[in-house]
Amino acid sequence: MLFRQAGIFHTDYSADRALFPIPADRWMIGSLLLLALAAPLYMNTLYLSSYLLPWLVWTAGALGLNLILGWAGQFHLGYAAVMGIGAYAAVHASRAGIPWEIAIVLAGITAAVIGSVFAFAALRVKGLYLALSTLALQFVMDWTISHVPAISGGTQATLQAPDIRLLGWAVTSDAGLYYVALVWCVLVTSFMLNLRRTALGRALVAVREKDYAAAVIGVNSFYFKLVAFATSSFIGGVTGAILVGTFYHAVTPEQFSVDVSIQALAMVIVGGLGSIIGSYFGAAFILLMPGVMNSFISWAATKFGFSLGIETLAHLPQAFYGALIIGFLLIEPLGLGKIYNNIRDYLLVWPFGYTKK
Amino acid sequence: MDAISLMESAANGALIGLMYSLVAMGIVLIYKSSSVPNLAQGSMTMLAAYVVLAFANSAGAPIWAAISLAIITMFIIGLAIERVALRRLAGRPIIMILMMTLGLEIFLRAGSMTIWGGTTRPMNLGISDAPLFLGPLLINRAYAFGAVVTIAMFGFFVMFFRSRMGVVLRAISDDYTAAWSVGISVERGVALSWAMSAVVATIAGVLWSSVQGVDQSLAQLLLKGVTVAVLGGLDSIGGALLAGVLLGVVEGIASSVLDPLLGGASRDLVDAAMLILTILIRPHGLFGRHDIERV
């Protein structure tokens, strides 16, 4: 079958430790990358800039949240605030005339520094209390962003994001913006893929499983929690900056409110904790669901001849979204990534389902 | 800012705080029995207010009958939520449980908006708008009524936890494995605590909507409820009552001092700061039980 393992012999250690030991995976990743690179050629700009681009950027964001939630096992209900810090930092830096390449790195560093404040809550408490304190920090950050005129440019204000300039070239075409998002998403993905093979990744997993036990075997759990928060905040900050630079083109406090934090959390949960491919699925699912839902409702309304009020139409996708989170937790708590893995495991040994993979 | 108006904000704040405790009590009831932090308490409050209005307006029942019918409905909804959503998650990691209550929050909030729409509607309990005069202080009558009801509810729970069913719930909250092994039906106890919490949410919903009307903002009582519950200790009903008063007073005074300085809306900031400070200084709250963790 597609994922055939027969006849694949790893004769040295480096082949055995490769990121994708099975050739079918390598072929798949390679062709997907080619498809993604060629996307501006065969896809119309509407789909490219309003579906594919936000999907890639949000996937990078979801991966950053997955790092803290799925790998290090620490709650983060304030991820949108971290993304917002990055976005505002990048916009202010590039408005001050700093080149965009440096501005997004500055955005990441600012977000990492402020995001590490969340880690100091993690030093003191964990589990439920960490979740609540990060939620409270999200409210504090929201309030600060919207009430300090130096950051938000005044109440109810929208700050225009300057055009992205890479090495002096202004990136304004849809295809250009798409490539910026693609490069960032690929970078984050390859970082996360490699993370699980490094000492850092293994230490994070040890902290996730039991922080005291990790401390007993010599893993400094506070240090690794801090690193996890800083790294994920860096990814979040740059993602926020890229989201504003390539998709929103302007920044307001509402783009990074507590609802967005929950949305990011939903991406990770629906996709699967600690699953990289799951983050892709989760981001796609959560982003596409409202649109699909709306068109389904209007299709059903014309088909079956009923009409719904505007308010009903406005809130129904939201209710469905809540029901979806509940449904996933009840039926497949490990998310879409787990479903993908089940199918893959089945195909690996097909048609000899009784063998071990 | 003179002393009288400060005292006035403190007194009204204390009464508002008692109404916050009603939301917090719902969270505490569930947390006590099953260690589930119910982040859907705010939207349960909102749903309950909409149910009362549905009975009062669509079915044309008088308000007291509508409230009683809503209490029965919410009792059943509470049982249903526990049975359908939470029971299967027992023993799962806390992140799943938290996410489930967040999902419930979104579902209940958006669901009630889908059915009933988002425009603010009044709920008239027949409380007059004229303020109460307490010496030189002006007290809002609706707040005072709410505070009295809250204290009555607290009294009810004190009595309840001395009854046979209450002792069962206390046993479950103490150690559910031990409770199980002596033949207590833990599922039934947990289901009952969800149902009672939904009833408390109904009462909170009625009181709050008589103050601010019925709309989506009722769901935002969650932040206040969580802050009060954590401050008082997540497994202490009395703690929730006292913490409510404390938060209300601090919020009243702080917002009357800070609002002119910061340009308004400092209440949420005060809440969030109280929540963070509580968690950093004394995570188990004023009266909560301090659990010891084993490796």
Question: CB pairs below 8 Å between A and B: how many?
Answer: 136
What is the domain extent for residue A267? 39-349
For the cut 70, the answer to whether the pLDDT of residue A155 exceeds it is no
CB A127 within 8 A of CB B286: no
Of A125, A216, A312, the CB nearest to B283: A125
Q: Which residues are CB-contacts of A339 (< 8 A; sequence separation ≥ 6)?
A: A332
The enclosing domain of A155 has a CATH number of 1.10.3470
Helix (H) or strand (E) holding B137: strand B137-139
Instruction: Report residue A54 as tokens.
Output: 């936000």
Q: Mean pLDDT across the stretch A81-95?
A: 91
Q: Which of B39, B107, B227 to mutate to test the interface with A (most CBs of A within 10 A)?
A: B107
Question: How many domains are there within chain A?
Answer: 1
Does A131 sit within 8 Å of B110, measured CB to CB? no
Comparing C-alpha atoms, which of B75, B33, B43, B93 is closest to residue B225?
B43
Residue type for position B216: Q
Q: Give the per-residue pLDDT at B47.
A: 93
Instruction: Report residue A235 as tokens.
Output: 């990814």
Q: Which residues are CB-contacts of B254 (< 8 A; sequence separation ≥ 6)?
A: B266, B270
A22 part of a folded domain: no
Does B272 sit within 8 Å of A128, measured CB to CB? no
For the range A353-356, what are the long-range contacts, defined as Cβ-Cβ under 8 Å and sequence gap of 24 or more?
none
pTM of the model: 0.88
Antiparallel, parallel or unpaired: β A169-171 and A164-166: antiparallel
Please give, rounded to a whole number of angstroms, the shortest distance from the CA of B181 to a CA of chain A: 27
A186 part of a folded domain: yes
A10 part of a folded domain: no
Please give, rounded to a whole number of angstroms, the shortest distance from the CA of A71 to a CA of chain B: 13
Domain B3-281 has CATH 2.160.20: no
Does A124 sit within 8 Å of B280, measured CB to CB? yes
Does B110 sit within 8 Å of A133, measured CB to CB? no
A72 part of a folded domain: yes
Q: How many angstroms separate the CA atoms of A192 and A211, rounded?
A: 21
Instruction: List the end-to-end C-alpha distance of chain B, in Å, as a whole number.
Output: 53
Comparing C-alpha atoms, which of B196, B187, B165 is closest to residue B75?
B196
Tens-place pLDDT, residues B225-240: 999 999 998 888 889 9
Q: How many angstroms separate the CA atoms of A25 and A205, rounded?
A: 25
**Closest chain B residue to the Cα of A270, Cα to Cα:** B99
Helix (H) or strand (E) holding A115: helix A100-124
Please give, rounded to a whole number of angstroms, the shortest distance from the CA of A352 to a CA of chain B: 33
Tens-place pLDDT, residues A105-148: 999 999 999 988 877 777 777 778 888 888 888 888 888 888 88
Residue A256 carries which DSSP code? G
Tens-place pLDDT, residues A34-56: 999 988 888 888 888 888 999 99
A324 part of a folded domain: yes
Of A132, A147, A216, the CB nearest to B279: A132
A104 part of a folded domain: yes
A339 part of a folded domain: yes
Helix (H) or strand (E) holding A250: strand A250-251
Q: Which of A210, A326, A332 to mutate to test the interface with B (most CBs of B within 10 A)?
A: A326
Q: Give the per-residue pLDDT at A165.
A: 77
Helix (H) or strand (E) holding B232: helix B221-232
Does A329 sit within 8 Å of B118, measured CB to CB? no
Question: What separation in angstroms does the CA of A254 have from each of A60, A287, A332, B264?
Answer: 20, 17, 32, 18
Q: How many angstroms separate the CA atoms of B23 and B230, rounded?
A: 12
A47 part of a folded domain: yes
Does A323 sit within 8 Å of B98, measured CB to CB? no
Of B94, B98, B113, the CB nearest to A315: B113
Comparing C-alpha atoms, which of A58, A265, A258 is closest to residue A146?
A258
Report how far Cα B33 is from the mean position of its chain's Cα atoms: 16
- On average, the pLDDT of chain B sits at 87
**pLDDT < 50 regions, chain B:** none
For the cut 70, the answer to whether the pLDDT of residue A343 exceeds it is yes
Q: How many angstroms separate the CA atoms of A238 and A105, rounded?
A: 7
- Dihedral sign computed on CA atoms, order A111, A113, A114, A118: positive
Dihedrals phi, psi of A119, to nearest 5 degrees:
-70, -30
Tens-place pLDDT, residues A276-304: 999 999 999 988 888 888 888 888 888 88
Please give, rounded to a whole number of angstroms, the shortest distance from the CA of A143 to a CA of chain B: 7
Comparing C-alpha atoms, which of A34, A87, A43, A14 is closest to residue A233?
A87
At residue A315 the predicted structure's pLDDT band, cuts being 50, 70 and 90, is confident
